[in-house]
Amino acid sequence: MQMQKKKQMALITEMHYGKDNAKFPDNGTRFRKEQIRLSEGGITVFVSMLLLVMIILIGTAVTSLQTAVGRCMILSGTQQGLFSVFAQYDRDLYRKYGLLFVDGGYGTSEFQPGALLEEVCTEAGYSLHPESSGGRSPVTIREAEGGRQLKGMVLATDLNGEAVARQVCEIMEAETGSGAGIGEALQLAASYSLEQLLERKREEITVDTICALFQDSGIETLDEEALNDIVPIESNPADYVQAYKKNGILWTVLGNEGKLSQASLNGIVPVSDRTCSYGIGMEPEGWQKGNERLYLQKYLMEHYPCYTGGPGESGLQYQLEYAICGKYSDMENLRLVLHRLLAIREASNLMYLLSDSEKQAEVEELAVGISVFLLSPELVPEISAAVLLAWAWGESILDLQTLLLDNGEIPLLKNADDWQLPLYALIDLNGIGRSCRHSADTGMNYRSYLGMLLIEKGTRQLTEAVMDLTEINMRTTEGRTEFRLDACVDALAMAWTLDAGKKRFTVEQSYGYSFRNR
């Protein structure tokens, strides 16, 4: 063992002094000094290498931290930019109609997607460059050349107004509850079904059908003395009715009592009739919960005026009538609606007359007197049919006057108490006839009849009506004459390339009130 130690000491001495100069000390003092010096040098090398590794680790950690901070700042900054822009929703549009859209036209008639993207980046800059507002940034962030790109966008009018329809349904569901509170709309739907049945029945009733009811009058079998007791009647109410019809329905119904709006669109082309701007890369999320038509119809009934609903701000006054007929002037829309309502009321009133034997007896008695005056007793059935149809028409005119001029109610199906026009007043509708009209205790008002007509419209037609009327009314707001619904943004997606330190990042973010990527 001792020999082995001496050999080791000799080897160390040889390595340190060289082979030729190797000398073994007589004692171990010098050897121990050399051993200590070698040990101290090894520690220095070890510590130096350890510090180098630590410096590398710390540098890597700092770089990684800067990269992570940069990535976090870019993501949060982009999100903040999008959030800030969508927080700038059109206040007028929301206040009037509850719709959430960003006006991408910025008060002009032209959609400006570039300005919208610039706005997002500007708002994001407050997070990406805190030093601009007196703060400090742990990492320098720069935008790469050509680094911003619009990847997707949904406009209010895309896919025939899917975004508008969805928001309308969300509004109505929030107001009424899911599936609740639409009883009125369902009642109107039931009334519309009944009205359709009445119109089909009316088509089945011809003059020959009515004449058949009066074939057994027996006037041909009366003796001369009985004929002498019949008072001849010169005036045929049916002739007066024909004269009334020549005046046109607006004058016949409204006369001097009603006021007619002369308003029109004055060259404005509504959304439904023009080529609109359209989004890219995204599609709006549609309403999936059902009752869409009922929600749209109820929304129209609650937000837009009609003839009896008070004037609008300006522009078209009869807006529910526009939703039904789609013409560019109030008078034309009202005229077409009155024709529709007149047909409905005629069918209902005629069905009632055919079920009331007392009124049929009145008609036959009048027809007999007219036939005696004409010396043509064989014409009693034809005269009776003409008078019966004229009576149904005259009653229908009073119904419309009650609805429009008195804002009264008329039931879809009448009984004896609801009937207004006596047969003798048929020859003087503008005088005696007008004094006979009265509102029923229960029934439908004019606005409800319009709601019934709206039921026949499809989802697309109702949505287009909402868009048209919303844009028309928004343009009446001070400073909003250039407002365009097809410049209103519902959702947006963008890509942005930025350098954080020496690292380059490309982020894609999307945000909207509701959307679905393609």
Across 19-28, 122-131, 400-409, 491-500, the highest mean pLDDT is recorded for 400-409
Least confident of 161-170, 193-202, 256-265: 193-202
* pLDDT beyond 80 at 142: no
Q: Is the pLDDT of residue 454 over 80?
A: yes
The string over 70-105, giving b where at least 16 C-beta atoms fall within 10 Å of a residue's C-beta and e elsewhere, is: bbebbeebbebbbebbbeebbeebeeebbbbbbbbb
Q: What is the pLDDT of residue 323?
A: 96
| pLDDT per position as a tens digit, 494-513 | 888 877 777 777 888 888 88
Least confident piece of the model among 104-108, 127-131, 154-158, 442-446 = 127-131
Task: Report the distance separating Cα 159 and Cα 144, nearest Å.
Answer: 35
pLDDT surpassing 80 at residue 319: yes
Closest by CA position to 316, among listed 335, 332, 301, 302: 332
Q: How confident is the model at residue 27 (pLDDT cuts 50, 70, 90)?
A: very low
Highest mean pLDDT among 22-36, 94-108, 177-191: 94-108
Q: How many CB atoms lie within 10 A of CB 399?
A: 29
Would you state the pLDDT for residue 327?
A: 94
User: What pLDDT does 22 receive?
Assistant: 46
- Greater confidence, 308 or 216? 308
**pLDDT tens, residue by residue, 44-87:** 777 778 788 888 787 666 666 666 666 777 777 788 888 888 89
What is the structure's pLDDT at 206? 79
Q: What is the mean pLDDT of residues 408-420?
A: 90
As a whole number, mean pLDDT of residues 99-106 equals 91
How far is residue 282's CA from residue 286's CA, in Å, rounded to a whole number?
Answer: 12
pTM of the model: 0.81
